[in-house]
Structure 1
Amino acid sequence: MTTVQTYKSLVDERVNEIIAKAKLLDEDTIRWKPSENAWSIMEVMCHVEEFINFWFGEIGNVLQNSSVHFGRKLNEQERSATVAKADNRTVDEILKGLEDANLNALKLLSKYNTAALQVESQHVNPKFGMKPMTFVLDKFVLEHLSIHLSQMERNLRTKKNNEPTMESTK
């Protein structure tokens, strides 16, 4: 069983890895879109900030009252609106937002012991059914953070492969 302390460490590590990677990049790279349908690193970071706040809000709600349903469906407005507004935010603003979301997540986890995370509630999507909050942390937070870290790295590789080399400019 994963402990609260382990969850705190893993969340903190992954969010800080996203922040650290972004701080090494220039703004053009952060805002660069690999294709029309792919997210920029900026859009990824906006989404990460939003889903951390969302999922830890859901965890907090369930731990206060396990009879409430948790989750959302993929087409929820807030999720897509956050990404759509990425161009209106500064890089510093989103980095601060990620730091704040991380701190709030860690603060929430600090309120509970490991046994509390076993509390189950019904997901709004029936395919998930009744799930403990450890499932939310594993699937919707940690796995999700890893996916978006990989997405950032893929964007960087794609951008690097699309840049002209000295030889190709001769």
Structure 2
Amino acid sequence: MGGYRISDWPRHILFFAAVPPPPFIRHVRQIWPLVGTGDRLRDKTLHMTILPVIGDDEVDPGLVRALSGALAGFSFPSFDITFDRMMTFRAKKKRPIVLRTPETDILVDQLARTVGRALTGTFPKFPKPGRVTPHVTLAYGAGFDGERLLPAPLGWRIRDIALIDSVQGEGRHIHLARWRLGTGD
């Protein structure tokens, strides 16, 4: 959405994401004063985007039902994700300050493709998912150059994914649906 003026942004952005559990969020809160940038930590909306869906001014309940129905019977094993560094993504104004994995994660890409295939059964023109850059956005701000290694790696076992409505300008996420991943344990 880099080319949009704020008044042009859709009010709601829907996406599928993995949401970290409370212990991960508590750990991020503890280390942010040590490794962070002084920008406001967005600890109420931490997530790792798996697949974007749509941006619109209103959430269509029919679309939410159709998305939920498309993933009925969805199956994928649970898996671990580990972040070991912080970096800043490029942006024109406030830059996303993110946790990153050491490299691209094949399982995250496979999860995105599996969700995408499930959606194309209901939405034949749904775009084929591209590669996922596994990250968790911590804050927005001036950022920094390069990477900062964390004092210790952070991670969690991804046991489910959620369909999320990100209400723009409010810093609020509404969880619309959730799917449990297989145990994989």
- Whether TM exceeds 0.5 here: the answer is no
Give the structure-2-normalised TM-score. Answer: 0.22
Give the structure-1-normalised TM-score. Answer: 0.24
In our comparison, the structure showing a higher alpha carbon Rg is 1
Which is richer in helix? Answer: 1
Which is richer in strand? Answer: 2
